[in-house]
């Protein structure tokens, strides 16, 4: 089936973006679609560096934002665009929205406008799904070793607020992920199937 849909799943840490991206990919593959599952930071050298920097408090948020934008332009132009053109359903576990929200919350010097500007070569997805959850719950799902520099409740409360504001102004889908996995995944599948029907 040739379809070329680009979906991203985003939200605060521990919201379940990785869990649900994987489950959605499996579900759509079973339905006979060609699916390309990918994630950010990517597995490129830039993405690997980012994963190290995300554990380091001393790295300025501007540096993170620029590296994310570099990783993303590569990700979009080399991977995503090509797969989309080949008719794949592309699912990215986090994408542009994470940068816009996380890096702008970290510093008053960083505006969402600037982050949008440095990310302008990476096209917007067709569907952006924000998984919404209380940070106190999402953090309790993570192990200590997985925690990154901004994974604390007050910071994530602010991040959550900005995700919800952005979802409203940009017309993103918001799905509550404080529920059993199957139930949350069911809602995601229903939403994506509706889009696929409209495209067919």
Ligand X SMILES: Nc1ncnc2c1ncn2[C@@H]1O[C@H](COP(=O)(O)OP(=O)(O)O)[C@@H](O)[C@H]1O
19 scored as a contact of ligand X (CB under 6 A): yes
Ramachandran quadrant class, 194 (left: phi over 0; alpha: psi -120 to 50; beta: rest): alpha
- Binders of ligand X: how many residues, by CB under 6 A? 14
Residue 13 exposed, middle or buried by CB count within 10 Å (0-12, 13-18, 19+): buried
Q: Least CB distance from residue 183 to ligand X, whole Å?
A: 8
Quick note: the x/- pattern for ligand X over 129-168, rule CB under 6 A, is ------------xx--------------------------
C-alpha distances in Å from residue 67, one per residue of 20, 52, 86, 94, 104: 25, 12, 28, 15, 14
Residues 6+ apart with CB under 8 A from 116: 96, 100
Residue 114 or 173 with smaller CB distance to ligand X: 173
Of the candidates 16, 47, 61, 125, which one interacts with ligand X according to CB under 6 A? 16
18 scored as a contact of ligand X (CB under 6 A): yes
Residue 143 or 171 with smaller CB distance to Mg ion: 143
Query: Do residues 128 and 173 make contact, with C-beta atoms less than 8 angstroms apart?
Result: yes
Length of the chain: 200
181 scored as a contact of ligand X (CB under 6 A): yes
Residues of this chain that bind ligand X (CB under 6 A): 13-19, 141-142, 177, 179-181, 184
Residues of this chain that bind Mg ion (CB under 5 A): 18
């Amino acid at each position: 089936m040739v379809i070329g849909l680009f979906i991203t799943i985003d939200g605060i840490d521990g919201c379940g973006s990785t869990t649900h991206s994987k489950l959605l990919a499996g579900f759509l593959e079973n339905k006979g679609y060609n699916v390309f599952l990918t994630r950010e930071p990517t597995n490129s050298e830039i993405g690997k560096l980012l994963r190290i920097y995300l554990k380091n408090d001393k790295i300025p948020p501007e540096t993170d934002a620029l590296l994310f934008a570099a990783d993303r332009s590569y990700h979009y132009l080399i991977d995503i665009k090509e797969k989309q053109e080949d008719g794949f359903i592309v699912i990215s576990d986090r994408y542009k929205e994470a940068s816009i929200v996380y890096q702008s919350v970290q510093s008053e010097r960083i505006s969402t406008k600037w982050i949008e500007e440095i990310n302008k070569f990476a096209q917007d997805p067709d569907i952006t799904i924000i998984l919404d959850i209380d940070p106190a719950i999402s953090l309790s799902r993570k192990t200590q070793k997985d925690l990154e520099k901004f994974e604390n409740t007050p910071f994530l409360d602010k991040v959550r607020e900005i995700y919800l504001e952005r979802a409203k102004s940009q017309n993103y889908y918001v799905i509550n992920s404080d529920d059993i996995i199957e139930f949350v995944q069911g809602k995601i599948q229903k939403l994506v199937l509706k889009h696929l029907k409209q495209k067919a």
